[in-house]
Structure 1
Amino acid sequence: MTPPRVVLVTRRFWPLVGGAEIMAARLAGGLHAKGAATTILTARWQPDWPAEIEHHGVRVIRLANPQTRVWGTWCYMRAVGRWLRSHRSSFDLVYVSMLKHDAYAAVAAAQRGGFPIVLRAEGAGLTGDCHWQLEANFGLSIKRRCQKAQAFVAPSPAIEHELIVAGYARSRIHYIPNGVAIPEPRDEADRAAARADLAEADASLAIGNQAPLVVYTGRLHAMKGLEYVVRAWPSVLKRLPEARLWLVGDGPYRTQLNELIGNLGLWGFVYLAGPFDDVEEFLRAADVFVLPSLEEGMSLAVLEAMAIGLPVVASDIPANQAIVEDHVSGRLVPPRDSDRLAATIVELIENRELADALAQEARRQASQRFSLDKLVDRHLELFQRLLDH
């Protein structure tokens, strides 16, 4: 069976970094590795960016994207539709990340060009695609057009439920959870080496091997609930005076977090590390991973932490419940509860036997349920069914 030729459309892509962008890159790379010729169609966010590059063996085409809010979006949508129509003979199927403007343009091109199209919904709740379609200008028109796609991918049960409630055909919705590569397990020597490497790269990341370290990786956004783990830190320090919290990433909430850290006198204890393409060294250096989100689609960051064998403390919300089994593969705490966050973090740092047991089970579940291989295989199976139909 010849692997399909796939065009993956995502308006944001490397070097822009976020969960959706990382997932698109990994899916494209995985498809490419299994013989499916894959092209990424994205926006050219800076005029000095080359119009075409190769990213880990995958061809990336950057289309016009003027930096004006309405005009830029319209130009990009036209460019997506025009490219798909003019290159119809070079692909078999189109896969779009997000049910937004890209999807509208791609579905329109698919209706004219007669090729199957798959839309992947991103995010849940107030930050999800279904809510965006209710609130955005022309959102309902975009929704009606999106509903004509041949298939929809929901990366979490919460997103699957939102699609059904929004009126998307249940029979065309496919639950395919995110997947991550399963790295070598870490040990104490690995942890020490990672800390040494980070300290060498940035003096602000210098930390002794005995100091407890809690890490978050992802966007700095209000809905990530980071305020609550920062507010938890004074309580953590009462029990663990050397404990450090590193928030790895960037986003619109950075200024507010900076102010909160200063107001609570936490300079030197809580550090905003900035964005990194690869966060594996941070995970290897850490003792606990924390995700205090108020809403999630399906957290790639949690899966990465589980895969490397790191105990996870996450908020008790539907998306996290689908990944983390409380007291089995991690700990779930009520959202917005700084006291419970602090107590649970302290418990896992003080009780290494418990932390190690949770981490081992988390790694086992990540390997069995959320591997990158499974993600790619499930997509290839879906693509083949659509092409055989």
Structure 2
Amino acid sequence: MTAGPRVVLVTRRFWPLIGGAERFMAELAAGLAERGHAVTLLTARLDPSWPERIRFRGFPVIRLPNPNVRFWGTLRYMQALTTWLRGHASEYDVVYTAMLKHDAWAAIRAVSRTHPVILFAPGSGPTGDCAWQRTALLGAHIRRICRRADAVTAPSPQVFDELVAAGYPRDRLHLLPHGIVVRAKRTPGDRSRARDALGRLQPQLRLAESDVSAVYVGRLHPGKGLLELIEAWETVVRGRPNAYLWLVGEGPLEAELRRAIRARNLQHRVALPGAFDDVRDFLAAADVFVFPSYQEGMPLALLEAMEAALPIVATDIPGNRLLIRPDRDGLLVPVRSPAALSRAVLRLMEEPELARSLADSARARVEAEFGFEQVLDAHLDLFSRVLDRRRPFTA
């Protein structure tokens, strides 16, 4: 074990619930563990059938009580988080908490006098942390407590600016963009192998070699533009009858998406296979990545698609523009426009040279600018600097 900081990561949502913030915290924890740092991840036990303790990708995960009762479940989770952090205070040096919500409030109230508490604000816009603090019950109180954090990290300039506008001290805000582990570039053989594996996993995912497929990875949430994507897919299928769409993830919109799929008679063209902590087979098996979100901070799902060298269609929003240079790394389309989505998807399916050029450019950009080693270095540097500020000066 290295002599570097011992880290506790806190995220209320974690595997098997998978979204961008959850995958980022998993990558961060795994990266720290691989470098020899002591790291523990605390999360909520949202389902009583889940074991209280597991080992995930080389690090321990502890699930704290969170009964499925509104208000009481949140209160019980906050109490359990406070108790754990205080009871194990000698076992860690710094706390890093995802989202500026109840977990952050509990961590700061529990141990900020003895340990640095750093917060991670992953989202922006109407579904982001600052918007939640403006509208949620007790949100204003939680914001006052969160402003006392030793540091707050933002993955994008948009999130950073929202934090400044919300009154967070600028000198404690840190812009730390996301990154991704860069692996060997996929080959045509990888596509066939991935399709075979997915077809064995779920019959609804079985495709012929000549079929074309698009994939979305992320939460099934109203802010992700998925109903517009379903509408667009009706047009795509008219132009390419062998085109299939996979919506990989879980979330509150699932039932409405299934109704929309049935209403448009797309049951055999659109699949919702569920949430997966490792989506590489889906990316390897697909021909296009579609990301129609209304608002993002810095979307990890886009980075994963870029690393996989998939041609991308995404909405023209600030978070996506951080990663996708229009018509160079992918195609950007207006928000809430099924017609623009369908045109862009069909264009990539019908112009393979364009699709290949965009995918290669996106992959090269990830290799040059968004490697995960840089993310680990930046976080460890921040942890060390915050710890140094906390240590008493000795002559």
Q: What is the TM-score normalised by the length of structure 2?
A: 0.94
Tell me the distance in 2 between the aligned counterparts of 1:151 and 1:145. Answer: 12
Question: Could you say which residue in structure 2 is the equivalent of 1:109?
Answer: 110
Tell me the distance in 2 between the aligned counterparts of 1:175 and 1:260. Answer: 39
Residue type at the aligned position of 2:106: A
CA contact (8 A) 2:297 2:319 kept: yes
User: Is 1:76 matched up with 2:40?
Assistant: no
Bigger mean CA deviation after superposition, 23-32 or 187-196 = 187-196
Matched residue SS, 2:159 = helix
Residue type at the aligned position of 2:272: L
- Identical-pair percentage: 48
Tell me the distance in 2 between the aligned counterparts of 1:125 and 1:64. Answer: 30
User: Is 1:165 matched up with 2:170?
Assistant: no
Tell me the distance in 1 between the aligned counterparts of 2:120 and 2:286. Answer: 32
Residue type at the aligned position of 2:147: Q
Question: Could you say which residue in structure 1 is the equivalent of 2:150?
Answer: 150
CA contact (8 A) 2:158 2:319 kept: yes
Q: CA deviation at 1:48?
A: 4.2
Q: CA deviation at 1:120?
A: 0.3
Matched residue SS, 1:213 = strand
User: Is 1:19 matched up with 2:20?
Assistant: yes
Question: Could you say which residue in structure 2 is the equivalent of 1:367?
Answer: 367
Tell me the distance in 2 between the aligned counterparts of 1:134 and 1:263. Answer: 37
> What per-residue deviation string (whole Å, max 9, x for no partner) do you get for residues 258-305 of structure 1?
222222222212222222222111110111100001111221111111
Tell me the distance in 1 between the aligned counterparts of 2:270 and 2:51. Answer: 38
CA contact (8 A) 2:211 2:244 kept: yes
Tell me the distance in 1 between the aligned counterparts of 2:343 and 2:44. Answer: 44
Tell me the distance in 2 between the aligned counterparts of 1:44 and 1:262. Answer: 33
Tell me the distance in 2 between the aligned counterparts of 1:3 and 1:39. Answer: 14
Tell me the distance in 2 between the aligned counterparts of 1:198 and 1:49. Answer: 25
Question: Could you say which residue in structure 2 is the equivalent of 1:132?
Answer: 132
Residue type at the aligned position of 2:39: T
> After the TM superposition, which parts of structure 1 deviate over 4 Å for at least 4 consecutive aligned residues?
none
Bigger mean CA deviation after superposition, 9-18 or 160-169 = 9-18
Bigger mean CA deviation after superposition, 40-49 or 258-267 = 40-49
Distance 1:49 1:226, change over 3 A: closer
Q: CA deviation at 1:18?
A: 2.0
Structure 2: unaligned runs, 5 residues or longer: 390-395
Question: Could you say which residue in structure 2 is the equivalent of 1:249?
Answer: 249
Question: Could you say which residue in structure 1 is the equivalent of 2:99?
Answer: 98
Q: CA deviation at 1:26?
A: 1.0
Question: Could you say which residue in structure 1 is the equivalent of 2:182?
Answer: 182
> What per-residue deviation string (whole Å, max 9, x for no partner) do you get for residues 20-73 of structure 1?
222111111111111221111222223343332222221222222222222221
Tell me the distance in 2 between the aligned counterparts of 1:257 and 1:75. Answer: 32
Question: Could you say which residue in structure 2 is the equivalent of 1:281?
Answer: 281
Tell me the distance in 2 between the aligned counterparts of 1:229 and 1:24. Answer: 28
Tell me the distance in 2 between the aligned counterparts of 1:255 and 1:192. Answer: 31
Matched residue SS, 1:276 = coil
CA contact (8 A) 2:16 2:276 kept: no
Structure 1: unaligned runs, 5 residues or longer: none
Question: Could you say which residue in structure 1 is the equivalent of 2:211?
Answer: 211
Tell me the distance in 2 between the aligned counterparts of 1:117 and 1:320. Answer: 29
> What per-residue deviation string (whole Å, max 9, x for no partner) do you get for residues 69-120 of structure 1?
22221222122222222222211111001101110111112333x2111100
Give the aligned length. Answer: 388
Q: What pairs up with 1:231-380 in 2 under 5 angstroms?
A: 231-380=231-380
Matched residue SS, 1:74 = helix
Matched residue SS, 1:75 = helix
Residue type at the aligned position of 1:160: F
Question: Could you say which residue in structure 1 is the equivalent of 2:392?
Answer: none
CA contact (8 A) 2:305 2:312 kept: yes
Matched residue SS, 2:71 = helix
Tell me the distance in 2 between the aligned counterparts of 1:102 and 1:316. Answer: 32
Residue type at the aligned position of 1:338: P
User: Is 1:64 matched up with 2:58?
Assistant: no
> What per-residue deviation string (whole Å, max 9, x for no partner) do you get for residues 127-160 of structure 1?
1111111111111110000000110010122211
User: Is 1:30 matched up with 2:31?
Assistant: yes
Bigger mean CA deviation after superposition, 15-24 or 25-34 = 15-24
CA contact (8 A) 2:18 2:218 kept: no
Q: CA deviation at 1:369?
A: 2.1
Q: CA deviation at 1:206?
A: 1.3
Bigger mean CA deviation after superposition, 58-67 or 122-131 = 58-67
Matched residue SS, 1:69 = coil
Tell me the distance in 2 between the aligned counterparts of 1:60 and 1:193. Answer: 32
Question: Could you say which residue in structure 2 is the equivalent of 1:49?
Answer: 50
Bigger mean CA deviation after superposition, 306-315 or 340-349 = 340-349
Residue type at the aligned position of 2:60: R
Tell me the distance in 1 between the aligned counterparts of 2:151 and 2:384. Answer: 12
Tell me the distance in 2 between the aligned counterparts of 1:44 and 1:257. Answer: 27
Tell me the distance in 1 between the aligned counterparts of 2:128 and 2:53. Answer: 30
Question: Could you say which residue in structure 2 is the equivalent of 1:87?
Answer: 88
Tell me the distance in 1 between the aligned counterparts of 2:130 and 2:199. Answer: 42
